[in-house]
Chains A and B, each alone.
Chain A
Amino acid sequence: MFPFVFEWVWDLGHLVFMGGLWYALTIVGLGMTYCIIKSAIDASKEAAGDHDH
């Protein structure tokens, strides 16, 4: 799974398989991070707006 696990080999099989997997996980991870941060900002903006009123 990781290059430091002893059976890891820098071959095409590992690059394609793990590349695809980590690519998918990165997209999912970044997507969720974006959503959470943006929601926190949106919510705090809304709270500030309510406060102003």
Chain B
Amino acid sequence: MDSALIPKGVKRCPLPQFLGGLAVAGVVLLWGVYAILLIWIKGLHVTGMNDYYGFALWIWADLAVIALGGGAFFTGFLRYIVGKDEIKNIINFAVTIGVICYISALLILAIDVGQPLTRAWHIFWHANVHSMLTEVAFCLSAYLVVLIIEYIPLVLENRQIDKVPFFHHLSHNMHEVMAVFAATGVFLSCFHQGSLGGVAGVMFGRPFAFREHLFIWPWTFFLFTWSAAAYGPCFTIFLAKLTEKITGKRLIKDNVYDLLAKISGWMILTYIIAKIADTWYWAAVTLPSQGHTLMDFYSNNAFYGIWILVAEIGVCGILPALILVTKKGRSSSTLIWTAVILGCIGVCLNRWVMILQTMAVPSIPFDSWQLYMPTWPEVATTILPVAFGVIVVMISYRYLPIFPQEQELNPIEP
């Protein structure tokens, strides 16, 4: 029924099956929308947040999707600035994932402030240029505009839209100047990824999060940018492989995966060395100067035990890095799956720790640890982006040429 919209030379599942899938994701999405309305109408007291947990699940989700969506800016950097031509075969998908992640991030922020329409615009209008959050808001919004601009040519390449001469030329012309947009995107990304790290790192009242500075930027600024560039491609590879599993088709050639995985591996390895150095300096110099020891933050309860540091740096950092930098690791399907999944968990764990553990640790010596449990509206609104992402990927995959190698890898028998 919708065959006129499907790209030429590729095969798609029957429409009812497609609509069935959309409906399942749609139900989850509607559950999230209901939770959003509940939060906006009733107020933020429907969440599990409190005055000790002003930052909670949403801020973590925000940081996590932005880090995972980092694959978009980093593949853009590799394709248009470094000139790695093979990346063109995965960049469309990376951009699609990026658009989903960044729309989700802004939506989560809008939910998090509780009353987005009444005062959220203050962050732009009355901007305090010294606040890391201002930098986040501006660069995030501007980068989302860039990502949408990168996504538009893909939409315009739909068979029916492409028939309109203006859209056909617009798509072509946008491709021509895409390097300029991509470079702007990289510039904006470096700053918002970094300033998200800076959000935690500048809090000198919170020894768990605070880090020493280089000029105005705490080390977390650089670590966040670096980790997003390192782990973002893991998420792109993971989702591309997952799409291949679901569709039962090869969509991207192995050499493309191999190149991106290798670059990601080296990025993770160098990042994790920097992270270890940062952790060591923090534990050996910064914390003792404030009367703390490392174990003050890891020995109160089982949830925030030292295991979390070992898991983040060792299991989800060093291990995936070693797998991805070795030819043997990259050529094994099991190992590459393991590495990209661990990588995604690793960066999410880092964001969790920098936000939630920072809030859990008592800042006043005579105060106690506070653990927090999100309520269902928080969970529903955090799952919403997943459902939204599934819907966007399903529609994009069905109607847009997001995998340029699909036709070649899956020739249709005449």
Contact = CB atoms under 8 A, between A and B. Distances in A.
Indicate yes or no for A touching B, C-beta below 8 A.
Answer: yes
B148 to A, nearest CB: 10
Interface string B164-181: 011111101110110011
A24 B125 contact: no
A28 B129 contact: no
B188 interface: yes
Interface stretch (B92-100, B138-146, B289-297, B394-402): B138-146
A29 to B, nearest CB: 9
Contacts of B177: 31, 34-35
Contacts of A25: 142
B149 interface: yes
Interface of A: 1, 5, 7, 13-14, 17-18, 20-21, 24-25, 27-28, 31-32, 34-36, 38-40, 42-43, 46-47
B129 A17 contact: yes
Contact of B146 (A5, A21, A28): A28
Contact of A1 (B124, B130, B184): B124
Interface in B208-227: none
Interface in B153-194: 165-170, 172-174, 176-177, 180-181, 184, 187-188, 191
17 contacts: A1-B126, A1-B127, A5-B125, A17-B134, A18-B127, A20-B191, A24-B184, A24-B187, A25-B142, A28-B146, A28-B181, A34-B177, A35-B174, A35-B176, A38-B173, A39-B167, A39-B172
B173 A39 contact: yes
A36 B170 contact: yes
- Residue among B125, B170, B181 with the most chain A CB within 10 A? B170
A28 B167 CA distance: 19
B135 interface: yes
A20 B194 CA distance: 15
Nearest to A37: B173
Contacts of A27: 180, 184
Nearest to A7: B126
A32 B149 contact: yes
Contacts of B172: 39, 42
Interface of B: 124-130, 134-135, 138-139, 142, 145-146, 149, 165-170, 172-174, 176-177, 180-181, 184, 187-188, 191
Contacts, number: 69
B165 A46 contact: yes
A16 B270 CA distance: 30
A31 to B, nearest CB: 5
Given A21-B142, A43-B165, A35 B129 contact: no
Contacts of B128: 7
Given A32-B149, A43-B168, 12 more contacts: A1-B125, A1-B127, A14-B129, A17-B134, A17-B135, A20-B191, A21-B138, A25-B142, A27-B184, A31-B180, A38-B169, A46-B169
Contact of A42 (B173, B187, B188): B173
Contacts of B188: 24
B142 A35 contact: no
A28 B142 contact: yes
A24 B190 CA distance: 13
Given A13-B130, A35-B174, A43-B165, A28 B184 contact: yes
